[in-house]
Amino acid sequence: MIFELEPVEPIHNRRIPARYDIPHAVAMQFHDILALLVVDLEKRGLLQATLSVSPEEAAQLEPLNGEALWSWLVQTGRDEVVADLTYRQLTAALCADACHFLIESLLACGKGKTAVAYSLLRKPFKENLLLLEWLAAEPEDFLSVFNGTTSYPYAPNRLPEARRRQIIREAADATDPSQWFDHEFMYDVRYSKTKPYGLEQLWTKSTHLVTTVKSLATEPGNLNFVFSTPSAIEEQWEFYYTIVPMLTAYLLAVAEAVASRFVAWDEEKRGFQRVLRTIAFLRSVQAISGNDSSELDDLLQSLEPEGLECRACGSHIELREANVDRLWSQASVACGICGAVHDLWATLFPGEGNQDARAENQEFRGHGA
């Protein structure tokens, strides 16, 4: 029997429901700041180290690069330079690699490809993040095992649970002070196979069509993620946009803690950036829960001094309502009376010089440099 099939139109990419737009944008914002950190570290020459050499050594170095240069540094006893370069290069490499997977995961989730989205989260959150946490918590220890005779000691899947928990606890303490980053939650969400909010089960099912472990067993007549119903996809979206903004914020904080060993931050600007990120995160939580956030309202109210006035018409500018998303995403506010837009970076830090200087500083100010 020959079946006559109806013509099939190309499959249109599904898009996330509007209620997930804010948490999606917040996670994207945190990713973009992390990616920008890597770009700026390289552009500002912060991935290089200073080396004092004699004229004879300078002549030896002239033709060397790559592994040959590295071998020369080791052979001539430049251990401190080797450690410094390794630390800097690892920082950038781990962050950049995590960004490659995160951006593709976010794009896939936005299109409804939740199996792809979840599977792409495994490496950055389970491996890259752990090594960055190790660098933040015990840099000398990590560099020692990294430069050893085998890679086994720093393989993430070979570290005992107690050691992983210790690293995560110490790293959480080394990040920006925040109530978001509970070290036990940060461990369980990435490594627990039994916690209901753990990603491990979703990573396993998104990677394998059929799973046979009792707690993860695929139902008869089913394939993991392949036959997801609309309600199942909705649950996958909701969990993704509940967890990913938080983990991405934490990844960013850990990365900056690692980079702080060779980056001089402007602490005043850094404090303002922390406030913007807190607003973004609380706005994401509010969007997911569908409820008003008293924490967000209190924070916004504390940022509305009487002096926050429109320079165009003199009206008092409110940060709440329409301005909240403009605030965290663009660091600007709009006057509700005349519509004039004010860049808060230029308002709060007027000493940056002319407009060209402020524009140049725009790139790195997301980190408070």
For the entire predicted model, the pTM comes to 0.85
Q: 3-state secondary structure string, the chain?
A: CCCCCCCCCCCCCCCCCHHHHHHHHHHHHHHHHHHHHHHHHHHCCCCCCCCCCCHHHHHHHCCCCHHHHHHHHHHCCCHHHHHHHHHHHHHHHHHHHHHHHHHHHHHHHHCCCHHHHHHCCHHHHHHHHHHHHHHHHCHHHHHHHHCCCCCHHHCHHHCCHHHHHHHHHHHHHHCCCCCCCCHHHHHHHHHCCCCCCCCHHHHHHHHCCCCCCHHHCCCCCCCCCCCCCHHHHHHHHHHHHHHHHHHHHHHHHHHHHHHCCCCCCCHHHHHHHHHHHHHHHHHHHHHHHCCCCHHHHHHHHHCCCCCCECCCCCCECCCCCCHHHHHHHHCEEECCCCCCEEEHHHHHCHHHCCHHHHHHHCCCHHHCC
pLDDT score at 47: 83
The pLDDT assigned to 359 comes to 41
Q: Are residues 91 and 197 located together in one domain of the fold?
A: yes
Mean pLDDT of all residues belonging to the chain: 82
Structural domain span for residue 309: 265-369
Same domain, 309 and 225: no
pLDDT computed for residue 5 by the predictor: 53
Q: Per the domain annotation, does 273 fall within a domain?
A: yes
Percent of the chain with pLDDT over 90: 37
Q: What is the pLDDT of residue 357?
A: 37
Query: Of 205, 240, 263, at which residue does a domain stop?
Result: 263
Span 89-121, pLDDT tens digits: 999 999 999 999 999 999 999 988 888 999 999
Q: Mark whether 230 and 360 lie in a shared domain.
A: no
Residues 162 and 304 in one domain: no
Residues 42 and 106 in one domain: yes
The answer to whether residue 5 sits within a structural domain is no
Number of domains in the chain: 2
Average pLDDT over residues 50-67: 75
Q: What is the mean pLDDT of residues 183-194?
A: 92
Q: Are residues 183 and 223 in the same domain?
A: yes
179 and 190 belong to one structural domain = yes
Least confident of 171-180, 232-241, 280-289: 171-180
The answer to whether residue 353 sits within a structural domain is: yes
The pLDDT, as a whole number, for residue 2 is 46
pLDDT of residue 301: 77
Q: Does residue 43 sit in the same domain as residue 24?
A: yes
Res. 52 pLDDT band, cuts 50 70 90 = confident
| pLDDT score recorded for residue 13 | 59
* Residue 207 falls inside a structural domain: yes
**Domain stop point among 233, 263, 293:** 263
